[in-house]
Protein backbone atom coordinates (compact mmCIF):
# COMPACT_ATOMS: atom_id res chain seq x y z
CA UNK A 1 0.00 0.00 0.00
CA UNK A 2 1.37 3.40 -0.98
CA UNK A 3 1.23 6.06 1.71
CA UNK A 4 1.14 9.67 0.54
CA UNK A 5 0.71 13.18 1.85
CA UNK A 6 0.88 16.71 0.54
CA UNK A 7 0.90 20.37 1.53
CA UNK A 8 0.44 23.43 -0.68
CA UNK A 9 1.13 27.11 -0.07
CA UNK A 10 1.42 30.26 -2.17
CA UNK A 11 4.62 32.23 -1.69
CA UNK A 12 4.82 35.79 -2.97
CA UNK A 13 8.07 35.21 -4.87
CA UNK A 14 8.87 34.00 -8.42
CA UNK A 15 9.02 30.23 -9.07
CA UNK A 16 12.76 30.14 -9.77
CA UNK A 17 13.52 31.87 -6.47
CA UNK A 18 11.33 29.46 -4.48
CA UNK A 19 12.76 26.47 -6.37
CA UNK A 20 16.33 27.67 -5.75
CA UNK A 21 15.72 27.85 -1.99
CA UNK A 22 14.23 24.34 -1.81
CA UNK A 23 16.72 22.75 -4.21
CA UNK A 24 19.64 24.09 -2.13
CA UNK A 25 19.53 21.17 0.29
CA UNK A 26 22.19 22.85 2.46
CA UNK A 27 19.41 25.25 3.55
CA UNK A 28 16.74 22.64 4.38
CA UNK A 29 17.53 22.94 8.09
CA UNK A 30 16.20 26.52 7.94
CA UNK A 31 12.69 25.38 7.09
CA UNK A 32 12.15 21.75 8.05
CA UNK A 33 11.19 20.76 11.61
CA UNK A 34 12.73 17.31 11.06
CA UNK A 35 15.64 17.65 8.61
CA UNK A 36 18.03 19.87 10.53
CA UNK A 37 20.98 19.88 8.09
CA UNK A 38 21.91 18.75 4.59
CA UNK A 39 25.12 18.44 2.60
CA UNK A 40 26.08 17.30 -0.88
CA UNK A 41 28.01 14.03 -1.26
CA UNK A 42 30.52 12.63 -3.71
CA UNK A 43 31.66 15.92 -5.18
CA UNK A 44 28.13 17.16 -5.92
CA UNK A 45 27.67 20.89 -5.27
CA UNK A 46 24.31 21.61 -6.88
CA UNK A 47 20.96 19.99 -7.62
CA UNK A 48 21.16 17.80 -10.74
CA UNK A 49 19.60 14.43 -11.44
CA UNK A 50 21.77 11.75 -9.84
CA UNK A 51 23.43 14.06 -7.30
CA UNK A 52 23.49 12.60 -3.80
CA UNK A 53 23.21 14.32 -0.46
CA UNK A 54 22.95 13.47 3.22
CA UNK A 55 20.29 14.80 5.54
CA UNK A 56 20.53 14.90 9.33
CA UNK A 57 17.15 14.38 10.97
CA UNK A 58 15.67 14.60 14.43
CA UNK A 59 12.40 13.47 15.98
CA UNK A 60 11.34 15.29 19.12
CA UNK A 61 8.51 15.26 21.58
CA UNK A 62 8.37 18.68 23.15
CA UNK A 63 11.88 19.38 24.44
CA UNK A 64 12.90 15.72 24.32
CA UNK A 65 14.85 14.18 21.46
CA UNK A 66 13.43 10.77 20.59
CA UNK A 67 15.71 9.89 17.69
CA UNK A 68 18.51 11.26 15.49
CA UNK A 69 19.47 9.76 12.13
CA UNK A 70 21.17 10.54 8.84
CA UNK A 71 19.84 9.51 5.44
CA UNK A 72 21.34 9.46 1.97
CA UNK A 73 19.18 10.75 -0.87
CA UNK A 74 19.51 11.03 -4.64
CA UNK A 75 18.00 13.73 -6.83
CA UNK A 76 15.54 12.04 -9.21
CA UNK A 77 13.96 15.07 -10.95
CA UNK A 78 15.34 18.57 -11.28
CA UNK A 79 13.73 21.21 -13.47
CA UNK A 80 14.59 24.76 -12.31
CA UNK A 81 11.49 26.71 -11.42
CA UNK A 82 9.19 23.72 -11.99
CA UNK A 83 10.07 20.64 -9.90
CA UNK A 84 12.59 19.14 -7.52
CA UNK A 85 12.39 15.52 -6.39
CA UNK A 86 14.57 13.11 -4.47
CA UNK A 87 14.49 9.55 -3.22
CA UNK A 88 15.53 8.87 0.37
CA UNK A 89 17.43 5.59 0.45
CA UNK A 90 15.16 4.20 -2.25
CA UNK A 91 12.17 4.16 0.08
CA UNK A 92 10.50 7.58 0.27
CA UNK A 93 10.02 10.01 -2.61
CA UNK A 94 9.82 13.71 -1.77
CA UNK A 95 8.61 16.01 -4.57
CA UNK A 96 8.17 19.76 -4.86
CA UNK A 97 6.17 21.26 -7.73
CA UNK A 98 6.29 25.01 -8.42
CA UNK A 99 3.55 26.79 -10.38
CA UNK A 100 3.41 30.47 -11.26
CA UNK A 101 0.25 32.14 -9.99
CA UNK A 102 -0.83 35.79 -9.97
CA UNK A 103 0.52 36.36 -6.45
CA UNK A 104 3.81 34.45 -6.90
CA UNK A 105 4.38 30.71 -6.70
CA UNK A 106 2.15 27.90 -5.59
CA UNK A 107 4.45 25.23 -4.18
CA UNK A 108 3.20 21.73 -3.45
CA UNK A 109 5.30 19.33 -1.42
CA UNK A 110 4.43 15.62 -1.47
CA UNK A 111 5.80 12.38 -0.11
CA UNK A 112 5.09 8.76 -0.98
CA UNK A 113 6.37 5.43 0.29
CA UNK A 114 5.33 1.82 0.40
CA UNK A 115 4.01 0.91 3.85
CA UNK A 116 4.87 -2.76 4.26
CA UNK A 117 4.49 -5.34 6.99
CA UNK A 118 4.89 -4.68 10.66
CA UNK A 119 6.97 -1.55 10.13
CA UNK A 120 4.25 -0.10 7.89
CA UNK A 121 1.64 -0.83 10.55
CA UNK A 122 3.74 0.69 13.35
CA UNK A 123 4.63 3.81 11.33
CA UNK A 124 1.20 4.26 9.81
CA UNK A 125 -1.11 3.50 12.68
CA UNK A 126 0.73 3.45 15.98
CA UNK A 127 3.10 6.37 15.31
CA UNK A 128 0.78 8.22 12.89
CA UNK A 129 3.85 8.97 10.75
CA UNK A 130 1.93 10.18 7.66
CA UNK A 131 0.08 12.77 9.76
CA UNK A 132 3.34 13.91 11.37
CA UNK A 133 5.02 14.16 7.97
CA UNK A 134 2.13 16.20 6.54
CA UNK A 135 2.21 18.62 9.47
CA UNK A 136 5.97 18.90 9.01
CA UNK A 137 5.50 19.79 5.34
CA UNK A 138 3.03 22.51 6.25
CA UNK A 139 5.51 23.96 8.75
CA UNK A 140 8.35 23.68 6.21
CA UNK A 141 6.42 25.60 3.56
CA UNK A 142 5.27 28.26 6.04
CA UNK A 143 8.84 28.82 7.26
CA UNK A 144 10.04 29.01 3.65
CA UNK A 145 7.32 31.57 2.88
CA UNK A 146 8.22 33.67 5.92
CA UNK A 147 11.92 33.68 5.02
CA UNK A 148 11.54 34.40 1.32
CA UNK A 149 8.87 37.05 1.68
CA UNK A 150 10.97 38.87 4.31
CA UNK A 151 13.89 39.20 1.85
CA UNK A 152 12.28 41.47 -0.70
> Contact, 46 vs 113, CB < 8 A?
no
Choose among 107, 148, 141: nearest CA to 33: 141
2-150 to CATH, choices 3.40.50.620, 3.30.1050.10, 3.30.365.10, 3.30.530.20: 3.30.530.20
Segments making up each domain of the chain, as ranges: 2-150
78-102 b/e (C-beta count within 10 Å ≥ 16 → b): beebebbbbbbeeebbbbbbbeeee
83-87 long-range contacts (CB < 8 A, ≥24 apart) are 84/19, 84/22, 84/23, 84/47, 86/53
Say if pTM beats, i.e. exceeds, 0.85.
Answer: yes
Which tens digits make up the pLDDT trace of 97-147? 999 999 999 999 999 887 666 555 555 554 556 688 788 899 999 999 999
Amino acid sequence: MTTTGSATLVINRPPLEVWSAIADITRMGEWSPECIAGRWKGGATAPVVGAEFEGDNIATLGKFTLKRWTTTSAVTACEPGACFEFSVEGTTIWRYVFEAVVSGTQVTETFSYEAKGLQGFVYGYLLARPRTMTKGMQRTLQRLKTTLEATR
